[in-house]
Amino acid sequence: MTAPLLEVRDLSTHFFNQDGITRAVDGLSFHLEAQETVGIVGESGCGKTVTALSILKLLPPRLGRIIGGRILFEGLDLAGLSEPQMRAIRGNRIGMIFQEPMTSLNPVLSIGHQIAEAVRIHKGVSADRARARARQMLDLVKIPDAGQRLDDYPHQFSGGMRQRVMIAMALACDPKMLIADEPTTALDVTIQAQVLKLMLELKAKTGAAIVLITHDLGVVAETCQRVVVMYAGRKVEEAPVRQLFARPAHPYTRGLMASVARGKAGARAKRLNEIPGMVPSLREPIPGCAFAPRCQFAIDRCRNERPQFEAVAGEPAHQAACHRLSEVLKL
Amino acid sequence: MTAITARIASQPVRSGLWHFVRRNPTLVGGAVVLLLVVLAALAAPLIAGDPIAARPVNRLKPPSAANWLGTDQLGRDVWARTIYGARVSLMVGLSVAAIAMAIGLVIGLCAGFGRMVETVVMRLLDGLMAIPAILLAIAFVSLSKASVGVVIAAIVLPEIPRVVRLVRAVVLSVREQPFVEAAVASGTRVPKILRRHILPATLPPLIVQATYVCASAILIEAALSFLGAGTPPEIPTWGNMIASSRVYLGLAPWTIFGPGLALALVVLAVNLVGDGLRDRLDPRLARRM
């Protein structure tokens, strides 16, 4: 087997501010094969976005720092690259889609201009060529009348169209990898489906691998091949998507699945399940399993010793970090 | 529905110039006055006599057909001196505004984006701001030989911190916008981000600020001339005209009307233009009329 496109090994990103250190990402490892889609799921504040920003080294300067681990992209350790070297990779080899399509486009520049900009920076082509490419990209993301709409400004587009423009921007340089940070969260449900479908289509066309960051398990089920479940800055479970839904192993993953509304039409509304307790503070180091305080299976060992990853039911692709894995699986 | 459509259709289309004037009375009013003053200053030799020639026989004469605004204590024509005085005032006002904006913009952009620059520069400028503009200008002028250029430099200096603070405030708010982050994420260099994404956002408030700086520069120049600092005494300026007529105020009040009214009118016009531009360029701050 060849080396994966992206391999994150033991990544730790901490935020340093006046009242202490926040361990936003704490020893995270995962990998992404070429042309694969991996979902990173977890609730707000579990380190999903910080992971994405760490990969592109877009952490707020002086506040957030990668303090350990390696980010191997095409065999190159991004963690050790200088800012000019990173600039050559951002937008060129790795594209990024942000959560807010409403504000991620500059309101005073035409969208053709904004798409062409990345192409000109990285490919060094003429303005005309870059414009032609921008037009081609707009066609690709199915914006009607691409030729005319190049000169329109962001306010002339709807939210879903703006997100498609963002996708066009991110893919304009043919990146090998796309990081999509909650790409559909700000959109309404029907548009979400359109945008996801479009992303998958484009992925098939361009062959870009995708890291999809989301808190929406439904989105993961529809789009991803593998899923990484994060909790409190750590990976708790990783599995091929089918197995994760068929057989969630970590108590947190189970809680997450149970808290998804699953109503049948006409059925009596039931109270949603929730995971009791709160996300632990990331200010203090957590010696054991981060989920232990909220976990119904927790024993003393969970609180004191950090669990190692174990294969679930003999499947090496399905891994979970839980001391009581065998007991949980029996349920 | 059709009635409404008909009514809308029957309203005359308010087109072009008149509509603009109606919508922006302050902007147009101020601009017209300013334009007249600029034209008068440019055409000074055509519409006014010699501002320097002294005719002691004619001293302190009241307004007449020959001397529209009377004559001063040396028998010089007040009208001519007022018109020529506009040249100095306008030149000082406009150059100070332009230079202060240019310098302030560059420093402000750097201070807004570079943390190291920011701490040092902003503290220096805060110190500069603590000294009243007029005192700083007097100190600066008294250090060098009197000329209009020195006066301009002396007034620019205390205006810079105000411009820098304004630009920096805009930079700080715009650079947190997601589209700037998106530009960084697509590999754009910092200078390009400043030019493309941040500079345009600073221009509207900057243009408005420029008019206020211009008005205050005209006033400071007049104050400096009044105090006898700065502009050489042989050049007629509104400030030194007011200063010299002060002595004869009881005897010949007309000597002060020309420069006094001109100064008030120009400063008012510049401020009106500033207010009008602010209403146009920054709708959030616009007064509801």
Tell me what pLDDT residue B13 has: 53
* Beta-bridge partner residues of A77: A72
Mark A97-114 as b/e (b = at least 16 C-beta within 10 Å): bbbbbbbbbbeebbbbbb
- Which residues lie below 8 Å from residue A166, measured CB to CB, with a gap of 6+? A97, A98, A101, A104, A105, A183, B182
CB contact under 8 A, B188 and A103: no
At A307, is the pLDDT very low, low, confident or very high (cuts 50, 70, 90)?
very high
Whether the per-residue pLDDT at B1 is higher than 50: the answer is no
* ∠ Cα B73 B75 B81 (to 5°): 90
Name the residue among B177, B187, B201 with its Cβ closest to that of A121. B187
Q: Give B-chain residues touching A90 at CB under 8 angstroms.
A: 184-187
Residues A41, A223: Cα–Cα separation, whole Å: 13
Whether the per-residue pLDDT at B6 is higher than 70: the answer is no
The pair phi, psi for residue A247, each rounded to 5°, is -145, 65
| Per-residue pLDDT reduced to its tens digit, A185-242 | 888 888 888 888 999 999 988 889 999 999 888 889 989 999 999 999 999 999 999 9
Q: Residue A34 CB: number of other CB atoms within 10 A?
A: 15
| Per-residue pLDDT reduced to its tens digit, A20-76 | 899 999 999 999 999 999 999 988 888 899 999 999 999 888 889 999 999 999 989
Average pLDDT over residues B162-191: 89
Q: CA dihedral in degrees (B87, B89, B95, B100; nearest 10)?
A: 180
Whether the per-residue pLDDT at B139 is higher than 50: the answer is yes
What percent of chain B has a predicted confidence (pLDDT) above 90? Answer: 40
Residues of B engaging A, defined by a Cβ cutoff of 8 Å: 115, 177-179, 181-189, 192, 196-197, 200-201
Tell me what pLDDT residue A272 has: 75
Tell me what pLDDT residue B288 has: 45
| Per-residue pLDDT reduced to its tens digit, B250-274 | 888 888 988 999 999 999 999 999 9
| Per-residue pLDDT reduced to its tens digit, A280-299 | 888 888 899 999 999 988 99
Nearest CA in chain A to B179: A104
Question: Which of A43-57, A287-301, B56-70, B202-216 is predicted with the least confidence, judged by mean pLDDT?
Answer: B56-70
The pair phi, psi for residue B180, each rounded to 5°, is -70, -40
Whether the per-residue pLDDT at B11 is higher than 60: the answer is no
Q: Give the C-alpha distances (Å, rounded to integers) separating A46 from A15, A23, A215, A232, A272.
A: 13, 10, 10, 4, 21
Tell me what pLDDT residue B4 has: 55
Tokens of B287: 């007064």
Name the residue among A98, A103, A117 with its Cβ closest to that of B188. A117
Residues of A engaging B, defined by a Cβ cutoff of 8 Å: 56, 58, 61-62, 87-92, 95-96, 98, 100, 103-109, 117-118, 121-122, 166, 169-170
At A267, is the pLDDT very low, low, confident or very high (cuts 50, 70, 90)?
low
Name the residue among B60, B22, B28 with its Cα closest to residue B272.
Answer: B28
Name the residue among A29, A181, A156 with its Cα closest to residue A94.
Answer: A181
At A121, is the pLDDT very low, low, confident or very high (cuts 50, 70, 90)?
confident
CB contact under 8 A, A98 and B186: no
**Do A301 and A323 touch, CB atoms closer than 8 A?**
yes
Tell me what pLDDT residue B281 has: 82
pTM: 0.75
Tell me what pLDDT residue B289 has: 40
3-state SS, residue A61: coil
At B15, is the pLDDT very low, low, confident or very high (cuts 50, 70, 90)?
low
Tell me what pLDDT residue A1 has: 52
State whether the Cα torsion B96-B99-B105-B110 is positive or negative. negative
Name the residue among A58, A61, A109 with its Cβ closest to that of B185. A58
Tell me what pLDDT residue B112 has: 85
**Do B104 and B167 touch, CB atoms closer than 8 A?**
yes
The domains found in chain B, sorted by start residue, are 72-281 (1.10.3720.10)
Minimal CA separation from B275 to chain A, in Å? 23
**Do B235 and B81 touch, CB atoms closer than 8 A?**
no
What does chain A come to in residues?
331
Q: Give the C-alpha distances (Å, rounded to integers) separating B73 from B112, B219, B224, B231, B239.
A: 53, 24, 21, 20, 16
**Do B256 and B78 touch, CB atoms closer than 8 A?**
no
Average pLDDT over residues B236-260: 90
Query: Average model confidence (pLDDT) for chain A?
Result: 89
Name the residue among A15, A65, A24 with its Cα closest to residue A48.
Answer: A24
Minimal CA separation from A110 to chain B, in Å? 12
Residues B265, B179: Cα–Cα separation, whole Å: 44
Residues B89, A246: Cα–Cα separation, whole Å: 82
Distance from chain centroid for Cα B196: 28
Name the residue among A91, A96, A103 with its Cβ closest to that of B177. A103
Question: Which of A255-269, B124-138, B168-182 is predicted with the least confidence, judged by mean pLDDT?
Answer: A255-269
